Structure 1
Amino acid sequence: MVKHNFYAGPSILPREVIESTADAVLNFNDSGLSVLEISHRSKDFQAVMDEARSLFHELLSIPENYTVLLLGGGASMEFCRVPFNFLKTKAAYLDTGTWAHKAIQEAAAFGEVDVIGSSKDQKYKCLPKGYVIPADADYLHYTTNNTVYGTEFLEDIESPIPLIADMSSDIFSRPIDVSKYICIYGGAQKNLAPSGLSFIIVRNDALGKMQRHIPTILDYKVHVDKESMFHTPPALPIYSALQTLRWIKKEGGVKVMQDRAIERAELLYNEIERNAMFEGTVVKEDRSRMNICFVFKPEYVELEKEFLDFTLAKGIVGIKGHRTTGGFRASCYNAMPISGVQVLVDAMKEFEQKHVK
């Protein structure tokens, strides 16, 4: 049975990325060695690192005065590494959900944190509105896509101060103006590669300005100077990330990824709105293209398990909502084909025909 993978992360990857990564596990670059055992100092692996970082620059039009880092860890590691490197006295943060809140908690250990906007009182069903960005803050931090609640900033924020963004779950899904940011980071396990890898895009001249001691492993400048090779990098996720980057380029680049994301989201949101059994959980203008959240209308809530079993029998996996929100969540990352979304939409229609007379 064909499986349609809607998990929020670790999540779907292009089939050819999985296959080429599997091949490299058995025989990397015809070396007779596995990518799991190759030296990260070898010429073969250095070529992987160099090409991956180069494709980041090419696909996102990253200016020359920025460095791309590929480091072991996940976005949660960057929640503390960001303020370590950039928070001198005060930073502004937007609270848009679970991961933004965790970033705020970490930053509070390094200086004043001004939470200038939050949608917590509205159960994160929308993005904050009407906030004022303080001119005296070192940076404004925000999470561009919120996987738990299904909201997303679909354009870069206009800000009088430098921006820092966690783009774990929507990187490469739309064009971004990197020049507005001093740092963009994320975990790879949603739209790029297996877990265990972080990507960081950092503006070089924003580093090295802190008076505090920064532990070597947490100092972005050290990693920039060592070209992501200060310590042993996670070779397998980096190799897989390279395959994904090659795939994005082959498919036509980030603009094509954006067009597909819009098409997938419109297809599923239209069915949620049409279907008599379901309703969305996010205000229309703030809905995520990556993580589409919806629930049963109150009169059908008792059918939730039946619907999950019904869709699972059709090969649809990973649509159960986050444990803190319930309901359903269909994660539609770059590798999700429109045909997979159509299978889910058809299942929703069939379930409606079964239960709504």
Structure 2
Amino acid sequence: MAVLVTGGAGYIGSHMVWALLDAGEDVVVVDQLSTGFRWAVAPEARFYLGDAGDKALLQGIFAMHEIDAIVHFAGSVVVPESVSDPLWYYENNTAKTRNLIAAAVEAGVRCLVFSSTAAVYGSQDNDRPVGETAPLAPESPYGFSKLMSEIMLRDTAAAHDFNYVALRYFNVAGADPLGRTGQSTTGATHLIKVACEAALGKRGAVEIYGSDYPTSDGTGIRDYIHVSDLVDAHMKALDYLRTGGPSLVANCGYGEGYSVLQVIEAVAAHGRPFEVSHAPRRPGDAASVVADSSLIRQKLQWVPRLDSLDVIVQSALDWEERLSRKNSFDLDHIREKLATADFLKSGSR
């Protein structure tokens, strides 16, 4: 049997592929490489270039491989972008997820782990950690697109022999401790990634969006989770579903929040100081979002191993340095190829 990973060339998806292979799983990846990278996919995985919502492609994959479970990462994740282009988010995140679910049901695949988000909660009226029973009030099309997908999964599970785990991510950061993959997206908007780029001189400054929130230092507070701990939650969710566990929606976070300023200070301490500028709040951003993760700890026996801001920041910086070396090597290799081609062309005249 095999696991289908959609978006397996992306940040979290590529970590998942490595974890599955480390566990001896047979892995099939589908990714259209809009934000992911082919080199980020472990070579042992079977790769299909295409859209995770392409019905014909999915039918072909299910016909060719014995898929018994799906881990669905493919989608768009930038909150401000969803505000400016909502229809794309409802197409890419919701409509294509509907196609994937339909193809899974048709193929008899009974287990799906879904990449959801804490954005389904929106802002809360208190400073307490957010539990799964909190009101669902997204403040952006991104949050709504994920909530709609959760509803489709719920209704499908009620109508078919099909179960799912929807994991509501808080803020994912860090990189594979073995240095095999990390956050590599050009123009990424995740704070720790942006700050690490600034600390290594790849960006001129880090913008703080909003310094007038009702928090201790006026900047937004988020619960940052190391990507490897998040992937471990997915692995446990797969085991849970494969052993007959009923459908589940659970938060993925540590239950502790850090402000934007605290994160910037941590990155500067591990890297080097960088310029900071201030900008107005972004549409759709909440003041504080911190997880109550007691449910996932109880149901899936999930125990984080890397729940430290310093560990997250250091792994992110290590990856950013590795990525710089890789990009430099790639550029030199391209230049060498071009120079060789020019030499051969001049010699053939």
Name the TM tier (shorter chain). under 0.3
- The answer to which structure, 1 or 2, has the higher relative contact order (CA under 8 A, 6+ apart) is 1
Superposition TM-score, scaled by structure 2 size: 0.27
